[in-house]
Chains A and B, each alone.
Chain A
């Protein structure tokens, strides 16, 4: 029965073709460092799932942000687990994405024809850091508030346009409800959408060009 439905869908959607193209690729003999990209992808998915779960109870308003997180941690079943996974995977994702970049750098995988893969990768790293920056404010506790005060002030140190950037980030001259709301929006909509789209491009390049081999003495 299940087999039949699958065959029916396959005939129309070309599932096996997709499967073979995406997963049955020819790869050179590589090592564990080549799993860091997949690990980044896995962490991005984990963050997406746990993040969606958190928005069920989190409220992005100064009146309720802190209390809603207390509620998640102390009252909702497994709230501590969902938030814990999101919290720790956030740091882990920055680390893993960075290590993945180091691996492609040290194996010289950024060379022709993979320069554009590298460019999309740089964008992914920056956007991942943006996720960390915007997410850090959301608990609206002392650490969050002052870290964002400092972070936005650093942006403000840019010559000439600094004060303007600072105000755009804060949505005003000081941190306020407006800051929290825009950070939330950027954290749950703008950045994840951009990251998802660029991961698509990144992986398209990886599948199209294939994985580069470990360089040998000749290279």
Chain B
């Protein structure tokens, strides 16, 4: 037979093994990728107004700490995360700053003597209104959206 290419038994076994091996690899390998990534890809969204008590509890001019917790189901466990920051009142204006340092997420504290928020991790300092005074942070502290209803202060918690 002209043009007939003889395939040796050895070549045949090699091709079949490679073929079946690839299929088996894909059948386990592709689901494995989904398996490993799946919790990361499940977005957890939340958007809620959190009451922080009467506005009168927060004195004008001095940054006053606030905190609240949110629970979240992560895998097989319910995790309670705490969030917090500072309420800064300036006349009618109410500013709710997050205490998360904009550098690498350590938590800042208000130091009355220096009149600055200080981050313990890499020595950052922020002014009372959240703008950067010194150190590595790239931008000011984040602020929560606020509202006051019937004398009660609320902050808006958005995630995801």
- Which of B34, B75, B76 touches A78 (beta carbons < 8 Å)? B34
Q: State whether B77 touches A78 (Cβ < 8 A).
A: no
Q: Residue B39 at the A interface, CB < 8 A?
A: yes
Does A160 reach chain B (CB closer than 8 Å)?
Answer: no
Please pick, from A49, A56, A64, A76, the residue contacting B28 in the complex, using a CB distance under 8 A: A49
Residues of A within 8 A of B37 (CB): 77
**What residues of A have a CB within 8 angstroms of the CB of B31 in the complex?**
77-78, 81-82
- Chain A residue nearest to B32 (CB atoms) is A53
Bound form: Cα–Cα A211–B35 in Å: 40
User: How far in angstroms is the closest Cβ of chain B from A158?
Assistant: 38
Question: Which DSSP category, helix, strand, loop or mixed, fits chain B's interface?
Answer: helix
| Inter-chain contact B77/A82, CB cutoff 8 Å | no
Contact with A along B11-32 (1 / 0, CB 8 A): 0000000000000000010011
- Per-position 1/0 for A81-100, Cβ under 8 A of B: 11001000000000000000
B76 and A70 form a contact (CB under 8 A): yes
Cα distance A71–B76 when bound, in Å?
Answer: 6
- From B28, B32, B75, give the contact of A71 (CB < 8 A): B75
- Distance A77 CA – B37 CA, assembled complex (angstroms): 8
**A-B contact count, CB below 8 Å?**
44
Q: Which residues of A contact B28 (CB under 8 A)?
A: 49-50, 85
Q: Which residue of B lies closest to A56 (CB)?
A: B36
| Contact digits for A45-57, partner B, Cβ 8 Å, 1 yes 0 no | 0000110010011
Provide the bound-state CA to CA distance between A77 and B32, in Å: 9
Set A59, A67, A68, A76: member contacting B35, Cβ < 8 A? A76
Q: Does B38 contact A (CB under 8 A)?
A: yes
Would you call A77 and B34 a contact (CB within 8 A)?
Answer: yes
Cβ–Cβ contact A57 & B75, under 8 A: yes
Contacts of B39 in A (CB 8 A): 75-76
In the complex the two chains form, what is the Cα distance from A3 to B50 in whole Å?
Answer: 63
Residues in B with CB closer than 8 Å to A67 are 76-77
B77 pairs with A77, CB closer than 8 A: no
Please give, as numbers and ranges, the residues of chain A lying within 8 Å of B75 by CB-CB distance: 57, 68, 71, 75
What 1/0 flags go to A26-57 for Cβ under 8 Å of B? 00000000000000000000000110010011
Q: Is A79 an interface residue (CB 8 A)?
A: yes
Residue in chain A with minimal CB distance to B76 = A67
Question: Which chain B residues border A77 with CB–CB below 8 Å?
Answer: 31, 34-35, 37-38
Measured CB to CB, the closest approach of chain B to A173, in angstroms, equals: 29
Complex alpha-carbon distance, A78 and B30, angstroms: 10
Chain B residues, Cβ within 8 Å of A56: 35-36
Bound CA–CA A81/B32 (angstroms)? 9
Chain A residues within an 8 Å CB radius of B76: 57, 59, 64, 67-68, 70-71
Which residues 119-157 in B have Cβ within 8 Å of A in the complex? none
Inter-subunit contact A82/B32 (CB<8 Å) = yes
Of A53, A67, A77, A85, most B-chain CB atoms within 10 Å? A77
Complex contact B35–A79 (CB within 8 A): yes
Q: Which of B16-71 contact A (CB under 8 A)?
A: 28, 31-32, 34-39, 42
